[in-house]
Amino acid sequence: MEKNKTYFLSDIHLGAPYIKDAKAHEARVVSFLDSIKEEAKEIYLLGDIFDFWYEWENLIPKGFVRFQGKLAELVDAGVKVHLFGGNHDMWMYGYLADEIGVKLYHEPTLLQIDGKTFFLAHGEDLGIDDKFFKAMLKLFRAKWFRRFFSTFVPPSWVMRFAKGWSDKSRAQHDKRGSLQYLGEDHEHLVQFAKNYKGTEHIDYFIFGHRHIVLDLMLRKDSRVVILGDWIRHFSYAEVLDGQLQLSEYSES
């Protein structure tokens, strides 16, 4: 088989406390990655792959070794794997790059695939005006804050805090009904793409974060795609010869 396809997925949330069968959840992702191994030339993981990730000088969180092992296997087989930080796993500093050989991203990124221009981002802070949320993200990303955190907060507290925070954020989503499509005018990522003022023409805007599956034509030659998640949708995008298609994975 020819390695000529590019894949995109996001929001796996490995280790999320509200996912009942963590082993089955991870196994499903691993099985998907295995199924695309022969045809994939590149894989883009667009953020919130881990429900929480933090790394200390000599420590990483427990778990997900089969997932990490499968990524390593793909990288070793010549597949380029790109890993974006999301708002749940922004603290990936370099371990996964050094150990597995993935390429890490912390900013929205513009690139060419099969001659088309892609705008890629997790998307938590695009097209929103929430100053408090943006200030929090800036704080979390600040070097001095990370250094403080790593030095003075015991790892077991960090992990406990992360679990509580994850449960709370999930409950809020459920209450607000924000796991449903809100319509073009209320989806911040759609608004961001519509109002995008870059000099380059974008063929595909691809985002994660919202946990909805969306493929929306902005103009005849520009689309915005939201990748869904691996909690309810098991969804991914596949690009062959510059043509994108959204699918849902089911184990056969």
Binding flag, residue 85, Mn ion (CB under 5 A): no
Say which DSSP state 102 is in.
Answer: P
CB-wise, 87 or 222, nearer to Mn ion?
Answer: 87
Beta-carbon contacts of residue 193 (< 8 Å; ≥ 6 apart): 119, 127, 202, 205, 218, 222, 224
Say which DSSP state 185 is in.
Answer: G
Q: Quick one: tokens of 217?
A: 């034509």
Q: Crossing angle for the helix pair 131-141 and 143-152, nearest 10 degrees? A: 60
CB-wise, 48 or 203, nearer to Mn ion?
Answer: 48
Pick one of 74, 86, 90, 193: the residue that binds Mn ion (CB under 5 A).
86
Stretch that binds Mn ion, among 82-90, 127-135, 175-183, 244-252 (CB under 5 A): 82-90
Pick one of 48, 89, 203, 229: the residue that binds Mn ion (CB under 5 A).
48
Q: Quick one: tokens of 208?
A: 């994660």
Beta-carbon contacts of residue 14 (< 8 Å; ≥ 6 apart): 22, 25, 26, 29, 49, 50, 51, 63, 64, 67
Stretch that binds Mn ion, among 75-83, 87-95, 174-182, 197-205 (CB under 5 A): 87-95
Stretch that binds Mn ion, among 41-49, 74-82, 173-181, 231-239 (CB under 5 A): 41-49
CB-wise, 188 or 209, nearer to Mn ion?
Answer: 209
CB-wise, 201 or 232, nearer to Mn ion?
Answer: 232
CB-wise, 54 or 79, nearer to Mn ion?
Answer: 54
Cα→Cα distances 1→33, 249, 252, Å: 16, 20, 20
Write out the binding residues for Mn ion, residues 121-150 only, by CB under 5 A: none
Stretch that binds Mn ion, among 42-50, 97-105, 136-144, 217-225 (CB under 5 A): 42-50
The least CB distance from residue 89 to Mn ion, in Å, is 9
The least CB distance from residue 206 to Mn ion, in Å, is 14
* Spatial CA neighbour of 196 closest among 110, 104, 82: 110
Could you give the string, one character per residue 192-221, with x where binding to Mn ion holds by CB under 5 A and - elsewhere?
A: -----------------x------------
Pick one of 12, 67, 81, 87: the residue that binds Mn ion (CB under 5 A).
87
Q: Are 83 and 121 in contact (CB under 8 A)?
A: no
Stretch that binds Mn ion, among 1-9, 24-32, 46-54, 213-221 (CB under 5 A): 46-54
Cα→Cα distances 172→19, 82, 117, 182, Å: 16, 30, 35, 16
The least CB distance from residue 252 to Mn ion, in Å, is 29
**Dihedral of alpha carbons 110, 111, 116, 120, sign:** negative
What amino acid occupies position 58? Answer: N
Q: Which residues bind Mn ion (CB under 5 A)?
A: 48, 86-87, 209
